[in-house]
Structure 1
């Protein structure tokens, strides 16, 4: 027979059952009717636990040992004396101890058990609260699997028995879910899933670091498909990245960016592009801009680029430690000398209203090369959004800060440009690289 004592709440709960005569802190006195029902159902092949549960008894409260012990007594009494052996008219037949004053040792054990349960409840709630705080978001609760683990940890720590149902209620999960979570079959499934996740992690990590450039989930998906011939959906990639802490670069808007102001003697031209960046004609829409680069110990350089609006390919770029007019004109000269660039009919270059692009020298050079010119509206960076987007990705992915010299910086930028044009797959380019997409547009033209 179990030596665990019932508390006041459990006694009250058990007393509600119509098949219970009386309940003490030590045991239960069942009705003669229930004993007869038990024998009848048991002879039909039902297990004691099943019979008790079907008649409204909470096995978590009673304890499986009490159930098996009662069934054993009743079967023995029935075998010896038949139905009469199940009645309480004879002394000692009920098998239940009489009510009596608890000894000091028993009172101590009872208080100790109640104290442990209270400590377990407080610790469980504290752990759940801490886990939810770590999520960093309001109204986000931790998953049931994590709650099951916390319940088991407090049960093991305080050596509690038959308190799973109570602690599950405290944690807001179901007892059946708890038992299922720790069943051998579920443990095996989690083990197999962990094995699959670990294999996926290795492939995702390779794609994440492909060409030594960190990538986000969509870049990883396209790299896996094109380079490693592996197809994972975005949801799985993001789950694996979150699980194993594979963090992609996070782009943030720069609130301190200043738009260059044109002087009175410079000419501001109208916006002939009107955000029609994707015209599906390589070499027609040319976007240009200049950005700053901080590298080494407080050193500063500038990067000027010309980007194809239709294919996102960087057609020409120039790096300098000075932001003079030369940085823009030299970029334009590199575009003209790039034999791989084939400009379309009606090609034009689009920029902001910066000093370099409103300068008469730059504008004369543009006309000399047979290009048109367009400018964004004042203070409206969205009119040149793809170029701004490229600079954002570039600063996230290129290793600029570790460079110590300008030559080292130029080598890193050259390496990145090769990677960006030839190996960086882009979602909006039908999952192709800029060069692949350029060839694709040329083939369907």
Structure 2
């Protein structure tokens, strides 16, 4: 009998789904790098999944047909709504209406008008009628080459800016786009990036309304607040934090629990389920410990006072791993602000669209979590990636020990 895998079944099945979703466009090594395993490990997981699928292919095909039917129905509903929005009054100019409206006039338009008609009327006469100076027009002419060069630079930069949201699921705002461009070697200020994104109508995603997931158990013994809103850490595995959130899937809910390292902001463990029982947070914590090689002795784990985190089962698991529990106050989201901010990013960037099946939702979440760790720049880390932050910390720690 082979050695038991350190990775939970949920993680392995999601990794396999992520590889298959690439449709052959990405190699085992590329997908495995995002997930945090070796290419050969991912290959063996895919092979094992194929063997299991061969035993129950009939039921799998029926399930796929049901999911595809649900997806098509949701798409049909979306298209019907989109069709209704194209009607008169939806914001498009009426047929035969003016293209230019009051307020469109600017000096550039006047200079262009002079250039077009100067041969017929002369610059002096046109400037007198328009009430503008000839010297201003000639200065504008002298700067034509510089303006053309700036426009070309802007167009080239806009092309790069458009590629960044496309590579990041359309989620990047101006700050993160600016950080990506700096990472590519551009020396550019953020104001210019904001101006070009505003001009081209490029923007990140925004959040929708929230649903309550923290239900406190007022009879459970409280744990002290060992963090006190100080979401910084001097080293890895000094402080972790966790929380539960939800995504809507059709007419039901899918719940997600995560564990983050406060120092590196890396997601160490997560778990999804259609319920909010204690095993949801226990599984996420167990995965985080496995990610750290089974060692978590002395780590402070901070959460809210939800009944899952105050339960006896969670306390038992925490004690088993040597983890020190920490909890904020009831009803104060600021006491677990790092986790709350993490959920905002997830919902803004990963689950804005309609999700019709649990399988689809899990794949979307898994893709975003692996992307978050390996490819998403974090402002609190100086726009490093979480995995880069950990690599940099370990390198500096080794140099300190050597000294």
| TM interval, short-chain normalised | 0.5 to 0.7
**Aligned pair in 2 of structure 1 residues 339, 377: CA closer, same or farther (>3 Å)?**
closer
How far off is 1:417 after superposition? 1.2
Match of 1:269 in 2: 223
**Aligned pair in 2 of structure 1 residues 341, 247: CA closer, same or farther (>3 Å)?**
farther
Moved more, 373-382 or 262-271: 262-271
1:181-260 to structure 2, matched below 5 A, reads 182-183=140-141, 185-226=142-183, 228-251=184-207, 254=209, 257-258=211-212, 260=214
**Aligned pair in 2 of structure 1 residues 341, 214: CA closer, same or farther (>3 Å)?**
farther
When Rg is computed on C-alpha atoms for both structures, the one with the higher figure is 1
**Aligned pair in 2 of structure 1 residues 383, 401: CA closer, same or farther (>3 Å)?**
same
- Partner deviation per Cα, 1:18-74 (whole Å, 9 max, x = no partner): xxxxxxxxxxxxxxxxxxxxxxxxxxxxxxxxxxxxxxxxxxxxxxxxxxxxxxxxx
How far off is 1:181 after superposition? 6.7
- Whole-Å separation in 1 of the counterparts to 2:134 and 2:302: 65
Match of 1:392 in 2: 344
- Whole-Å separation in 1 of the counterparts to 2:138 and 2:346: 49
TM-score (structure 2 length as normaliser)? 0.65
Q: Does the 8 Å contact 1:287/1:308 carry over to 2?
A: yes
**Aligned pair in 2 of structure 1 residues 231, 269: CA closer, same or farther (>3 Å)?**
same
- Whole-Å separation in 2 of the counterparts to 1:280 and 1:433: 18
Match of 1:283 in 2: 237
Give the unaligned 5+ runs of structure 1: 1-122, 132-145, 169-173
Match of 2:380 in 1: 428
- Whole-Å separation in 2 of the counterparts to 1:424 and 1:400: 18
Q: Does the 8 Å contact 2:247/2:351 carry over to 1?
A: no
1:220-369 to structure 2, matched below 5 A, reads 220-226=177-183, 228-251=184-207, 254=209, 257-258=211-212, 260-295=214-249, 297-339=250-292, 343=296, 346-369=298-321
For the aligned residue pairs, the C-alpha RMSD in angstroms reads: 3.1
- Whole-Å separation in 2 of the counterparts to 1:212 and 1:258: 27
What secondary structure, in the 3-state scheme, does the structure 2 residue paired with 1:356 have?
A: coil
- Whole-Å separation in 1 of the counterparts to 2:263 and 2:152: 43
Q: Which residue, out of 84, 90, 106, partners 1:147? A: 106
Give the unaligned 5+ runs of structure 2: 1-97, 398-403
Q: Which residue, out of 133, 147, 159, partners 1:175? A: 133
- Whole-Å separation in 2 of the counterparts to 1:213 and 1:179: 42
What secondary structure, in the 3-state scheme, does the structure 2 residue paired with 1:247 have?
A: coil
Moved more, 412-421 or 202-211: 202-211
How many equivalent residue pairs? Answer: 294
**Aligned pair in 2 of structure 1 residues 397, 259: CA closer, same or farther (>3 Å)?**
closer
TM-score (structure 1 length as normaliser)? 0.59
- Whole-Å separation in 2 of the counterparts to 1:379 and 1:250: 24
**Aligned pair in 2 of structure 1 residues 176, 316: CA closer, same or farther (>3 Å)?**
farther
